Amino acid sequence: MLRPITPADNPQVAHIIRTVMTEYGAVGKGFSIEDPEVDAMFEAYDTPRSIYLVLELEGRVVGCGGIAPLRGGDEHTCELKKMYFLPEGRGKGWGRALMVQLEKEAAERGFDTIYLETIERMAEANQLYQKMQYAALPGQLGNTGHSSCGLFYAKKVPA
């Protein structure tokens, strides 16, 4: 079940982010694993134009992802942020379901473009982004601080 994050979810979400990023070697300076918000995701996304959702299966949070205004970007662009799934949440369509919901949330919040950053090693995620019609970009947008990401995508928000 996809639902909005609650304060009680913060430790589980931080664990997911750190576990998955470490699994894919996305650790160190320039990766979002270093962002201060990792330990307080509810608070970081508790703003009018942001939302963070979690995937709960059998009482356990096994996936997460959200949107927020793109730091250093224009007011019409949001960023898909910190979308990760533990192995038990993968390969079952939950990533697609989460992205579809976040695209709806972006439209409701007045965004017309969703931007995201990732790395080549996250092959499954890249395949999903491409299937969801996200177009590869030649470089970074905004000022996310994630200088170690090498792949960038964007999509016009479906009306």
Q: What is the pLDDT of residue 37?
A: 92
Lowest average pLDDT, out of 30-39, 51-60, 122-131, goes to 30-39
pLDDT band at 72, cuts 50/70/90?
Answer: very high
What kind and span of H or E run contains 79?
strand 77-85
pLDDT above 80 (res 150)? yes
Let me know: does 85 contact 63? Beta carbons within 8 Å: yes
Catalogue all structural domains in the chain, each as residue range(s) with its CATH number: 2-156 (3.40.630.30)
* Model pTM score: 0.94
Residues written for the chain: 159
CA pair distance 3, 105, nearest whole angstrom:
12
User: Residue 108 class from Cβ within 10 Å (0-12 exposed, 13-18 middle, 19+ buried)?
Assistant: exposed
- The tens digit of pLDDT for each residue in 26-40 reads 887 878 788 889 999
- pLDDT tens digits, 112-122: 999 999 999 99
Helix (H) or strand (E) holding 57: strand 51-57
pLDDT (0 to 100) of residue 29 = 80
